Each structure stands twice: as C-alpha cells, then as structure tokens.
C-alpha cells in the first residue's frame, strides 16, 4: 500500500536557481518561500533601516515600527540613548505599545499590568507575591528584548535582529557618501523627519517598489503623463544628451547620479524646481554661514542623492522612502520629506513637492504603484521564466565608485541589487550567519 | 478659511441645511468627480481654490505632510495629467459612485468676492478598479456665491476615515 506523503515540502534555503548575472526568475517576486527566506536572511540577520533620530528628539519620545514582520519600538530612553526594543511584553507576548508615536517614561502592558521603563527594564509586576522567591529573578531577567545590534549613521537608525554580523559601516559601504550628500544640504548637518509619513499600500512585491526607484529606463513611459501634461523632465531623458549615470555602489546599494550633469550646467537647484536663490534667502544665508559660499554653491548645484540603500531605504532626493513587506505581493511604502531643521520657507516648499510627486496621490508614485501591481499580475504567467536585466551590460565600466554606466537607462543598479540579494539569501554575503535559516525555521 | 474636522464636528448644534442652489452645486461636484469628467470638475473651482486631503484631523498643512494639498495651479496640473490618457493609475478611470449625507452649513462669511458658505458633510465612496474599494469620511466645502450669481468651489477638504493609513492609490478625484 502506498502511503500519502503529507510532510510539507522542504523550505527553500538558497536562490541559486533564480538569479543569473543578466536575468532573474519571476519567482523572486512571487514565491512565498523566497519571501520567508528574505524575512530570515535580510530582515532578521541583516541591517535594516528602522527610523531617524529626529523622530525621537526628547527622552521618552518613541515611534513604533516593524523590522520585517516584527514590531519594535524606537525610543529615546531617559538616559538619552536611542534604543530599538521588541514591542512585545515579556510576560505573555502582548504588543506593549499600540500608538504610532508618543512620549512616555514607562510602557504598561494592558493585559496583566507589567510595567517597563523606556529603557526596557521591567519595574512593575502587579501581585508580585505570586512569584514568591523567584520575583527578583523574574524582574531582573524579563526586560524588553533589545535589538541585538543597533547603530546609526547621519541620524539614520538601523538595527539587526541577530547578534553576529558585519558592522553598520561595513554594511553601508560607500552608500555613506549618499547620506553625506543629503546632509550637505543642511546648514546644521542634520535632518528633521517629522512631517508625517504617507503610508501607501501597494499590491506588489517590496523589491519591485525599491528597485524601481533606480530604474532609469521607465520614466518616459510610466511617467509620460507628467512630462506631456505638466512639465518637462528636469533634464533630458535621452542618454546621449546628458551626463546622468547609473551606478552599482556594491553591497546592494545603487543610484541614479545627476551630479555630473548638474555640475556641467553649473546651475543651482535644478533638482528643486529651479527655484532661484532669491526665493530662499534665509536658507541660502544659513548655508553660506555654515559651509562657506563655495561649498554652498556646490551643494546647491549637485543636489541630493537618488540612492537606494539595501534593503529598505531610498534617499529619494529630498524625500525618504522605506518599505514594510507584508507578503510576496503586498507592501506598504512609507514616504516623508527630509526637512531641514529651522528652515521653514524651504520646508513648506518641500512638503508641497513631496505631495506633488510621492505617495498614493502623487503625480509619480501613484503610477509607479499601478505599474508595480500590473507587474505582479503579469508574473502570474509562469512563462517565460526569466526577467531581463541585461540592458547596458556590455557598456558597464568599473571604477573606484563602483560599476558605472553612462546610459541612465542601463539596468546596472538592478544587476547590483540582485547580485547582492542572492549572496545574502544564499548565506554567502560577508558576515553571514551560517547555518541559521532552513533548520531554524523548520 | 479652513474649518478643521474637529471644528466641523463641534459646529453641529446650530447648523442648518444649505440652500438648494449650494446643495445642487455639491451634488454636481460629486457626480463630475464620480464620472471622471475632469475638465468640467476643474471648471467648478475659483482661482483661489485649495483641494486638501490631510493625513490627520488636526494637521497643519504648513507643517505636516498631506496626501494632497493642491492650490489652483496644481489642481490644473492634476487635471491635465488625468486628461493625458496615460495617467496609468486612472487608465481606465475608476468606476465610482459616492453619496453625500448630513449636509450642514458650518459658516457663512461675505467679502468683496461674494458670500462663502462652508458646508460639512459625510460621504461614502464606492470605487471599483480591479476590485471594490470603499472610502468614507468627512468632507468640508467652501462654496462662493459670487456677485454675478455664479457658484464656485473655494475649498474642498477631505478627512478620510482611514487617513491614518495605509491607503491604497488615490489618483482619482476623491
Ligand atoms: S502579557 Fe503583558 S502583562 Fe501579561
Ligand atoms: Fe517612477
């Protein structure tokens, strides 16, 4: 007699079958096992962007976020330290903090009343006699779980849910230059990410949302309505007419770099609707005071980065975008402007620019979301198996900045993304936590 | 002038129904939006109009990010984009029907451009695009009755019930 094998199929432990240097399988966006492997190797073991220090300026300030699917609290504790704590009561697991943001010296669990300080220490256990002799040990051991690794760069806070691995600086690699480029536009060298986050539910894979941001090929088509009906592109989209480069920065990070073109033009604020200096007198004065006229002119010409930082942070010029993956075909995209502390005239313009371009009603992103959804629909057809990423592969140039292509529409950034993605999912990226996935999840 | 959702709620006690002409104007606005009659919808706006969809009931558009905060110029751009035929997120346009209910006059002021009537209402909007989306909220209009007798929209503020997000694509006229 034949017995039915009811054991579940073994979970995926690598993606060797899905990624080639010039193409990837459609399954990278649709396979639930790929998604599970990403949750482990990228979102538990790797560095993930969580929030910004400016969101928690005062002791007690907190915001609640997720790392992958896991709820965390980003909080500035009473000692002034920024911490990332699991948003899970250590008694029986209740989600402790249920507001999106706030200020509190303690978190009290509504289930049985356990109370934790904003540094995560357990300080209150109602009816403590119930623990008899063991009470002190219980109180000592059951603080909120801190993210095993946490670090920041330029105010951007990253965490990892695994203790071992490379440092944040190693993870960021040369992408720190993009954060520096953004901070160079602030007289104080700091940003303010408190205008509010647009949360846009997109019916597509999180990677589609992220890598589309460095796709220099789609704009003329996906965004034709903007260029036709509203305003021409800030610089030409014809590759031979402009010095706009795409770059694989290594480590999964990549960008579209307008710096050379803007520098050639030597015009300020091309990236900011060509606003003349006279419209921003306070900002210009503060910048010149802080950085001197030469560096200020350069910053105004070169403008902000258009850089994707693996896995979930996109420096979208003067906007910050991050994603929360909900499932293989569902993602929430979060967007807010990178406001400049104290520069109200500049910031109000920035709000209007963010609303114009980004989010669920934005002139650009609403259409990117629609195209992403249709891409997900299309991938339900299993043939042909491969998605093509070979555009420009023969004209890629390697230099000290990474792999560069002088054709903005080359798929160089995507090739860099997938190369790194597959090495992470295969457990072969630098500092990978070996042997900690398939077995652990089984 | 802006009436926040909070103020709109607090006003209830002494509110009255809007006059028939204002009510008819608002129903027409709703119908043109539903039917994606973009240019006719745009023509309802006065030159100082503001179309606002905030992310929170107490938000200040000068400080807080909104989903939409269109001045008249941007309303024009939004309509030009929708009319382009390649606004993919509205190609084809969502099929929609909305109802306005609980119409109340919240305020009435006069200046040299006419009399502005502020009307609060609740709405439910059924949007079909691949599948059904239901939107609901509080909408606050400022309608100007001009000296020449013409009615024009000066402000439309939409406080979505799900403003806290996440929200699906909002590329149609809400
Ligand atoms: S689950 Fe939090 S106190 Fe019991
Ligand atoms: Fe786009």
Instruction: Show the domains of chain B with their CATH numbers.
Output: 5-160 (3.10.450.50)
pLDDT at A418: 98
In whole angstroms, give the CA distance from residue A337 to residue A351.
7
Residues of B in contact with A354 (CB under 8 A): 65
Predicted confidence (pLDDT) at residue B12 exceeds the cutoff of 70: no
Structure confidence at residue A236 (pLDDT): 79
Please check whether residue A244 lies inside any domain of the structure.
yes
- 10-residue mean pLDDT series, chain A (442 residues): 66 94 97 97 98 98 97 98 98 97 97 97 94 89 97 98 97 98 98 98 98 96 93 76 94 97 95 94 98 97 98 98 98 98 96 98 98 97 97 97 96 98 93 53 34
pLDDT attached to residue B3: 60
Number of domains in chain A: 2
Domain check: are A143 and A249 in the same one? no
Q: Are residues A229 and A114 in the same domain?
A: no
Q: What is the ipTM of this complex?
A: 0.94
Beta-bridged to residue A245, according to DSSP, are A257
Phi, psi for residue A273 in degrees, rounded to 5? 60, 25
- Domain boundary at A118, A152, A186, which? A152
pLDDT given for residue B4 in this prediction: 61
pLDDT at residue number B53 = 98
Cβ < 5 A residues, ion ligand 2: A 368
- Shared domain for A286 and A338, answered yes or no, is yes
Nearest CA in chain B to A332: B166
For chain A, the average pLDDT equals 94
Which residues 35-64 in chain B show a CB within 8 A of chain A?
A: 53, 55-56, 59, 61-64
Averaged pLDDT for residues B159-173: 97
Cα(A210) to centroid(ligand 2), Å: 10
As a whole number of angstroms, the distance between CA A219 and CA A215 comes to: 8
Cα of A213 vs centre of ligand 2, distance in Å, is: 6
Q: Are residues A391 and A301 in the same domain?
A: yes
pLDDT at B1 > cutoff 50: no
A201 in the same domain as A144: no
What is the reported pLDDT for B14? 65
Query: What is the Cβ-side half-sphere exposure of residue A129, based on CA atoms within 13 angstroms?
Result: 1
Structural domain boundaries enclosing A118: 53-152
* Contact assignment for A369 to B169 by CB distance below 8 Å: yes
Strands (E), A292-366: 306-309, 313-316, 319-327, 330-337
Question: A361 in a domain, yes or no?
Answer: yes
pLDDT of residue A435: 46
Given the CA of residue A114, which atom of ligand 1 is nearest to it? 3
Chain A residues lying within 8 Å of B74, measured CB to CB? 352, 356
Q: Are A101 and A223 members of one domain?
A: no
Interface contact flag, B81 A363, Cβ < 8 Å: yes
**Residue nearest ligand 1's atom 4 by CA:** A112
A179 plus A140 within the same structural domain: no
A373, part of any domain = yes
In a shared domain, residues A198 and A343: yes
Q: Is residue A26 part of a domain?
A: no
CA dihedral (A79, A85, A87, A89) positive or negative: negative
Predicted structure pTM score: 0.94
> What per-residue confidence (pLDDT) applies to B7?
63
- Output the domain CATH number for residue A78: 2.102.10.10
Domain boundary among A104, A119, A152: A152
Verify that A185 and A136 share a domain, yes or no.
no
Q: Would you state the pLDDT for residue A238?
A: 76
- Asked whether residue B86 carries a pLDDT value surpassing 90, the answer given is yes
Contacts with A, B 137-166, CB within 8 Å: 164-166
Mean pLDDT of chain B: 94
Closest-CA distance of chain A to residue B62, Å: 6
Residues 8-67 of A with CB under 8 A from B: none
- Residue A230 resides in a domain: yes
Q: Is residue A121 part of a domain?
A: yes
A197 and A285 together in one domain:
yes
Calpha distance A250→A175 (Å, rounded): 9
Tell me, yes or no, if A326 comes closer than 8 A to chain B by beta carbon: no
CATH assignment at residue A352: 3.90.380.10
Looking at the structure, tell me whether residues A76 and A183 fall in a common domain.
no
Indicate whether A128 belongs to any domain. yes
Let me know if A126 is exposed, middle or buried by CB neighbors in 10 A (0-12, 13-18, 19+).
Answer: exposed
Interchain pair A198, B65: CB under 8 A = yes
Gap from A90 CA to chain B (nearest CA, Å): 28
Task: Give residues (CB < 6 A) around ligand 1.
Answer: A 89, 91-92, 94, 109, 111-114
Characterize the bridge pairing of strands B151-160 and B45-54. Answer: parallel
Identify whether residues A355 and A232 lie together within a single domain: yes
A216 domain residue, yes or no: yes
Instruction: Pick the residue of A226, A229, A354 with the most B CBs within 10 A to test the interface with B by mutation.
Output: A229
- Nearby residues of B55 by Cβ (< 8 Å), 6 or more positions away: A196, A198, B64, B65, B66, B67, B163, B164, B165
DSSP string, A14-80: --TTTEETTEEETHHHH-HHHHHHHHHHTTTTS-EEEEEGGGS-STTEEEEEEETTEEEEEEE-TTS
Would you give the end-to-end CA distance of chain B in angstroms?
20
The C-alpha atoms of residue A171 and residue B148 are separated, in whole angstroms, by 66
Nearest-by-Cβ selection for B89 from A197, A352, A367: A367
**Number of inter-chain CB pairs under 8 A, A vs B:** 104
CA distances from B91 to A367, A371, B43, B84, B88 (A): 10, 11, 22, 10, 5
**B11-40 residues touching A, CB cutoff 8 A:** none
């Amino acid at each position: 007699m034949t017995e039915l094998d009811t054991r579940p199929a073994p979970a995926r432990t690598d993606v060797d079958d899905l990624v080639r240097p010039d193409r990837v399988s459609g399954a990278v966006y649709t396979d639930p096992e790929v998604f599970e492997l990403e949750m482990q190797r990228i979102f538990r073991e790797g560095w993930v962007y969580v929030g910004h220090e400016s969101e928690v300026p005062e002791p007690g300030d907190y915001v609640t976020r997720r790392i992958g699917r896991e709820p965390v609290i980003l909080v500035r504790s009473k000692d002034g330290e920024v911490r990332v704590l699991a948003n899970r009561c250590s008694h029986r697991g209740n989600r402790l903090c249920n507001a999106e943001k706030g200020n509190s010296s303690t978190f009290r669990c509504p289930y049985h009343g356990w109370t934790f300080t904003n540094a995560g220490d357990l300080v209150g256990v109602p009816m403590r006699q119930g623990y008899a002799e063991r009470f002190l040990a219980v109180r000592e051991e059951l603080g909120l779980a801190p993210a095993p690794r946490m670090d920041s760069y330029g105010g951007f806070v990253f965490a990892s849910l695994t203790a071992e691995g490379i440092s944040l600086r190693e993870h960021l690699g040369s992408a720190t230059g993009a954060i520096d480029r953004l901070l160079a536009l602030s007289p104080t060298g700091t940003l303010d990410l408190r205008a509010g986050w647009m949360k846009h539910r997109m019916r597509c894979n999180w990677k589609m949302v992220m890598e589309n941001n460095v796709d220099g090929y789609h704009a003329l088509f996906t965004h034709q309505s903007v260029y036709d009906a509203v305003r021409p592109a800030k610089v030409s989209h014809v590759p031979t007419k402009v010095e706009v480069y795409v770059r694989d920065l290594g480590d999964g990070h990549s960008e579209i770099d307008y710096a050379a073109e803007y520098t050639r033009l030597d015009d300020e604020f091309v990236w900011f609707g060509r606003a003349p200096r006279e419209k921003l007198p306070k900002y210009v004065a503060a910048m010149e005071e802080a950085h001197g006229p030469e560096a200020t002119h350069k910053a105004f010409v070169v403008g902000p980065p258009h850089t994707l930082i693996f896995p979930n942070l996109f420096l979208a010029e003067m906007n910050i975008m991050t994603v929360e993956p909900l499932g293989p075909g569902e993602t929430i995209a979060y967007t807010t402007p990178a406001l400049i502390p104290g520069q109200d005239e500049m910031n109000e313009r920035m709000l209007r620019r963010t609303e114009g371009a980004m989010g669920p009603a934005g002139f650009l992103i609403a259409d990117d979301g629609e195209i992403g959804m249709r891409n997900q629909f299309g991938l339900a057809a299993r043939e042909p198996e491969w998605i093509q990423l070979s555009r420009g592969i023969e004209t890629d140039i390697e230099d000290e900045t990474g792999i560069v292509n002088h054709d903005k529409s080359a798929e160089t950034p995507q090739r860099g993304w997938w190369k790194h993605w597959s090495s992470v999912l295969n457990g072969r990226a630098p500092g990978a936590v070996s042997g900690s996935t398939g077995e652990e999840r089984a | 002038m802006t009436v926040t959702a909070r103020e709109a709620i607090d006003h209830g006690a002494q509110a009255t129904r809007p006059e028939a002409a204002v009510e008819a104007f608002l129903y027409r606005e709703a119908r043109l939006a539903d039917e994606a009659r973009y240019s006719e919808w745009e023509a309802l706006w006065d030159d100082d109009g503001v179309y606002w969809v905030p992310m929170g009931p107490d938000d200040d558009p000068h400080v807080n990010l909104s989903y939409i905060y269109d001045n008249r110029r941007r309303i024009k751009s939004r309509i030009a984009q929708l009319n382009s035929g390649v606004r993919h997120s509205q190609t084809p346009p969502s099929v929609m029907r909305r109802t306005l209910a609980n119409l109340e006059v919240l305020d009435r002021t006069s200046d040299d451009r006419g009399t502005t009537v502020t009307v609060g209402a609740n709405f439910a909007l059924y949007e079909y695009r691949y599948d059904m989306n239901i939107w609901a909220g509080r909408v606050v209009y400022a309608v100007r009755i001009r000296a020449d007798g013409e009615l024009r929209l000066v402000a439309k503020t939409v406080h979505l019930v799900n403003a806290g997000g996440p929200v699906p694509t909002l590329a149609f006229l809400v």
